[in-house]
Structure 1
């Protein structure tokens, strides 16, 4: 069952339990009281029978007198509740008509009876208790045989007397509790209201939060609500980070695409104004270069944006040499042929990585090594095994006038002043660093005095 209101559910369930317990208590009290009254009245019936026997024994005339009638006052019951004092009439009590006595001789002669007992035996002539129907009512009776007088003494009492007394006693006990129900309900409502008020306060704080400034919710809450507060703050932090990433992506895209688009527009205008075939060919070549650079920039931006929201990697065991070959196949042939390749990676080396992302790392590193290297120099790729970790080292030699700024390498959109004429976006190493972090590897670089630049990828044992 779906709970629509926690407060309403608590009020209904707690008050329902209270009412249920009071009902169970009332029923239990009624039957317990009825049981105790049964025992009391059963004992009285036996006592009355012995009292009558004793009186007959004292007055021997009783056994010789036939059909003596004991008068019972006829008090009409009108159903009106009265006090005990009001029920005491001058002629007697109304309950006298609900108690009957008979005395029978052994040979079946009626010797003594109360006026309400009739002239037929109230119950069987068997010693003990009996439940009989007489005069339209159920009676509980007791039979006693007096050996010395050779008579049967019957005493009986109507069952409805016992039920009526049990009911009145139960009501008297539950009436104070009934009067206490409303104060109890009020206290329950107040307790539930105070107990759930922190939930309302948390809801109001969240509803009043500024969407433009998703600050964590800081307020004193009960221990049970603190996990919710922590979860909400975590969600707000992730949402804030996501929005910041989206804003940064939009800002980066708009900033970085502005220049290539302007250049592309310029070349398009030049093409429209070209008059000779040479001018048309030149403008067309410039448009192709600009389009290629623009496509590369958009691809790098999309790769970077995808990595910003990536938290889980679908890793597989992939041969490192195969990934290097696939990465080199994606490098521009002009750059690939600009250098000599010296690769020292065994075919048995297997890495546990996400194939597409790690191939992106290799493609960026190998492309940079070829693109920024001195023409006809050697690019060396070496995989070395260590005790605690393994290393993949890519080394190339930079021209004398383009020594890299190590401190700024990896910054988004950073490009060396000497490399502005080379196609690139300044996002390659940023993407590499992000993928390396996701794989829990380390990336380092250093340069020697003779301009040999090395990128070292430190690979933990659990990745191999």
Structure 2
């Protein structure tokens, strides 16, 4: 699925909240404009009512002054209508039928009282005012009722809201324009960086040294780190292939020479002797090839959370059982288990590590007569220890011994045994240590234990 471009995403991230905020502002502006219009027009309506009441008192209800007429006809919000009742309730001046007030309006309340009503089928805003008047024949409280169409107020509020919407729309359009073209300009360094990387060959893993914006420095640092890791991995694999070719060259040549010698043997006894030597050389070559593959697998296969739990004690017993029949009669192999020994990992790789520990003890121990595998649980850790009574390995030689194709003497072996053990230990998040003992060698592998709760869940 194709993801939207960065410009589109930025445009959406910026404009979406702006549009929501603008809608809320527009609604608020309309409501506020309606309230403002209501206050302004109510004041105009009340002022007209006072003017009418004054003219009624002055002329005793005969007529309205020109100023009042101008106010009624030119008032904001449209024409103002009026109706005046005298103190005795008789009609004095104005329009004959005023809007009917709601039932909750108190007829004796002097006011001013504002309310909404209808007049000739139209919604109107009304103010009723009671003023003390003296019309010659009678005196008392006269009632002045003025009203105005509400539609004008709504139109005024909509006009104010429309102006706000126009301003906001122009603002959003300007922001969209700036974001659309500004992001293109702002992302130009990324496009230049992409072009520079695209021009590189697959063999060019140099660090990116060109200047980039601060926001991109993290990406460039990560790329440089990745380039460096890939370069190291390639160099390591190249070195491994070179070393493997060198290590396999002599055994393969030996197998070929022995095969040719067996073919050209002059007698049956000589042929059998050379075939026996050929079988031994072939086994050595096969073991070396297996170690090479195991070493690479252990180095580059990481421990996963979905790896099964394995019983380290059971693996030790299996490996020991396979070795007892092939060891020299003078060498004894024992397995000692103390407590649960469950870890998470690859049983085949763990067995290969144990096999290499045994081979290392037998081959390089020289005088080894006893090999012991001990498995124990200590808190959250499982420890596997191999000890022998051979010549032993000095502590200052341990780091060299675990290096690939490294041998401390001229003895047999490929120099991969302890390297495989170290790689398997690292792959299983374990720790490989050499313990000081009075005689022989004692090497331990410590791994995180699988907790009982996790076992019950599985």
Match of 1:120 in 2: 97
Q: Deviations over 1:7-60 (max 9, x none)?
A: 312212312333433343333223212212212222322332232222122223
From the superposition, tell whether residues 253 and 52 of structure 1 become closer, same or farther in structure 2 (CA, over 3 Å): same
Alignment of 1:87-126 (within 5 A): 98-104=79-85, 110-113=91-94, 117=95, 119-124=96-101, 126=107
Q: Conserved in 1, the CA contact under 8 Å of 2:430 and 2:447? A: no
From the superposition, tell whether residues 3 and 325 of structure 1 become closer, same or farther in structure 2 (CA, over 3 Å): closer
**Worse overlay, 157-166 or 123-132:** 123-132
* Distance in 2, Cα, partners of 1:37 & 1:295: 98
Q: What is the CA distance between 1:379 and its match in structure 2?
A: 2.7
- Pairing partner for 2:414 from 415, 425, 430: 425
Q: What is the CA distance between 1:95 and its match in structure 2?
A: 6.9
1:327 and 2:320 are equivalent in the alignment: yes
Q: How many residues align?
A: 414
* Distance in 1, Cα, partners of 2:34 & 2:283: 100
Name which one, 1 or 2, has greater alpha-carbon Rg. Answer: 1
CA RMSD of aligned residues (A): 5.0
* Distance in 1, Cα, partners of 2:372 & 2:14: 73
1:30 and 2:30 are equivalent in the alignment: yes
* Distance in 2, Cα, partners of 1:407 & 1:169: 83
Match of 2:20 in 1: 20
Task: Give me the TM-score of the superposition, normalised by structure 1.
Answer: 0.67
1:10 and 2:10 are equivalent in the alignment: yes
Q: What is the CA distance between 1:99 and its match in structure 2?
A: 1.8
Q: Conserved in 2, the CA contact under 8 Å of 1:324 and 1:362? A: no
* Distance in 1, Cα, partners of 2:372 & 2:78: 118
- Pairing partner for 1:413 from 405, 411, 431: 405
* Distance in 2, Cα, partners of 1:54 & 1:261: 127
Match of 1:401 in 2: none
Task: Give me the TM-score of the superposition, normalised by structure 2.
Answer: 0.68
Match of 2:434 in 1: 443
Alignment of 1:59-458 (within 5 A): 59-60=59-60, 62=62, 98-104=79-85, 110-113=91-94, 117=95, 119-124=96-101, 126=107, 128-135=113-120, 137-146=122-131, 148=133, 149=135, 151-171=142-162, 179-189=170-180, 192-193=183-184, 207=198, 210-217=201-208, 228-229=219-220, 231-269=222-260, 277-278=268-269, 280-282=271-273, 284-312=275-303, 318=312, 323=316, 326-327=319-320, 329-330=322-323, 333=326, 336-337=328-329, 339-341=330-332, 348=338, 360-371=352-363, 379-381=369-371, 393-396=387-390, 409-414=401-406, 419=411, 424-435=413-424, 439-443=430-434, 454-457=440-443
Q: Conserved in 1, the CA contact under 8 Å of 2:320 and 2:333? A: no
Q: What is the CA distance between 1:459 and its match in structure 2?
A: 6.6
From the superposition, tell whether residues 426 and 56 of structure 1 become closer, same or farther in structure 2 (CA, over 3 Å): closer
* Distance in 2, Cα, partners of 1:100 & 1:410: 107
* Distance in 2, Cα, partners of 1:184 & 1:296: 71
Q: Conserved in 1, the CA contact under 8 Å of 2:61 and 2:92? A: no
Q: What is the CA distance between 1:155 and its match in structure 2?
A: 1.5
Q: What is the CA distance between 1:299 and its match in structure 2?
A: 1.0
**Worse overlay, 23-32 or 279-288:** 279-288
* Distance in 1, Cα, partners of 2:448 & 2:27: 71
Unaligned runs of 5+ in 1: 74-87, 399-404, 447-451
* Distance in 2, Cα, partners of 1:42 & 1:381: 107
SS across alignment from 1:212: coil
Q: What is the CA distance between 1:434 and its match in structure 2?
A: 3.8
Alignment of 1:20-59 (within 5 A): 20-59=20-59
* Distance in 1, Cα, partners of 2:163 & 2:77: 24
Unaligned runs of 5+ in 2: 377-382, 450-458
Q: What is the CA distance between 1:305 and its match in structure 2?
A: 1.0
